[in-house]
């Protein structure tokens, strides 16, 4: 079974390994630069296997070169946001992580999934530094925002969240673009269930969701939601599911955007992005998408 490598044994990396084990997606190999951390956490996770019934193994390593043999590598290491910080503030502190693993995995056959913040800028940087094809370097991007919007709609309507298909594209920040007309509940358009004014209130909550978690917890940013989104994305690659998921990639002409990364819906399979999709956007949505892409480009230039 194909290995999924995870860089980072902290909250995000360890919970991603746990969700992958719960789904029995593939054998997992965790690495952390703090010696013994990934091996200790993987042992802890495997001791739950008899109860949780994983059908895969979760192992740790202290050698980053072991990641080169993995089919999928998830970059989940790095500093997290502090209260009051913007995602772009992390670029200077986390960019060396993207560069280090871009050099390590250059020439590999892996599909690389970026979760380290700011995810859009680091996805673009990793792609540029690694030389890997853009379709094999994908950021978690608005996949997390999509999940959060599904939760908010479920809370608002009282309907089952798994029946909700939400659509969010763009940058993973305040310029994200929730697409109302592509959002449905069991095939029913959202505007049948939620009025425009209330929809806009939900979108405002969505834009502040990450900040609210940081503000409430004080000591850490979100990791359960991102970990589940990472597991979903890795599963789509390993099992060649051909699922349509929003992912951040280095763009080359979509909506006139180049040399920047934001999320668009894409068909995800064994080689990463099989095909990028370009949903129809109105002028306001296009402007928001452009603003987000320009913000990512500015972060990269900094």
Q: Which one of the listed residues 3, 172, 175, 254 is annotated catalytic?
A: 172
Find the farthest-apart pair of alpha carbons in the chain and give their distance in angstroms, rounded: 54
Q: Is 175 a catalytic residue?
A: no
Crossing angle between the packed helical segments 143-157 and 209-217, to the nearest 10 degrees: 90
Q: 228: closest CA among 4, 12, 1, 7?
A: 12
First-last CA distance in the chain: 41
Strand order in the sheet with 243-252: 58-61, 28-31, 4-7, 72-75, 111-114, 137-139, 243-252, 258-269, 272-276
Crossing angle between the packed helical segments 196-207 and 209-217, to the nearest 10 degrees: 50
Other C-beta atoms closer than 10 Å to the C-beta of 204 total 9
Sign, CA dihedral 27-20-238-69, equals: negative
**Residues belonging to the active site:** 172
């Amino acid at each position: 079974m194909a290995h999924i490598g995870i860089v980072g044994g902290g909250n995000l990396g360890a919970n991603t390994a746990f969700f992958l084990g719960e789904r029995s997606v593939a054998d997992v190999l965790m690495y952390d630069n703090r010696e013994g951390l990934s091996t200790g956490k993987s042992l802890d996770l495997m001791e739950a296997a008899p109860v949780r019934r994983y059908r895969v193994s979760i192992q740790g390593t202290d050698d980053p070169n072991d990641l080169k043999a993995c089919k999928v590598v998830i970059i989940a290491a790095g500093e997290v946001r502090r209260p009051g910080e913007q995602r772009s503030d992390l670029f200077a502190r986390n960019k060396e992580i993207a560069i280090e693993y871009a050099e390590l995995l250059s020439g590999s056959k892996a599909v690389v999934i970026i979760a380290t913040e700011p995810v859009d800028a680091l996805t673009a940087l990793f792609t540029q530094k690694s030389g890997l094809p853009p379709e094999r370097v994908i950021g978690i991007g608005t996949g997390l925002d999509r999940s959060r919007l599904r939760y908010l709609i479920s809370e608002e309507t009282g309907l089952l969240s798994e029946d909700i298909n939400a659509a969010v594209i763009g940058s993973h920040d305040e310029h994200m673009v929730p697409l109302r007309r592509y959002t449905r509940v069991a095939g029913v358009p959202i505007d049948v269930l939620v009025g425009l004014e209330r929809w806009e209130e939900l979108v405002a909550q969505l834009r502040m969701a990450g900040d609210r978690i940081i503000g409430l917890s004080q000591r850490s940013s979100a990791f359960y939601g991102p970990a589940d989104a990472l597991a979903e994305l890795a599963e789509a690659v390993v099992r060649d599911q051909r699922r349509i998921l929003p992912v951040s990639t280095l763009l080359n002409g979509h909506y006139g955007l180049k040399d920047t990364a934001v999320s668009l819906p894409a068909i995800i399979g064994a080689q990463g992005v099989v095909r990028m999709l370009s949903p129809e956007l109105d002028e306001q949505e296009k402007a928001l998408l452009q603003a987000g892409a320009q913000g990512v480009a500015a972060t990269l230039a900094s």
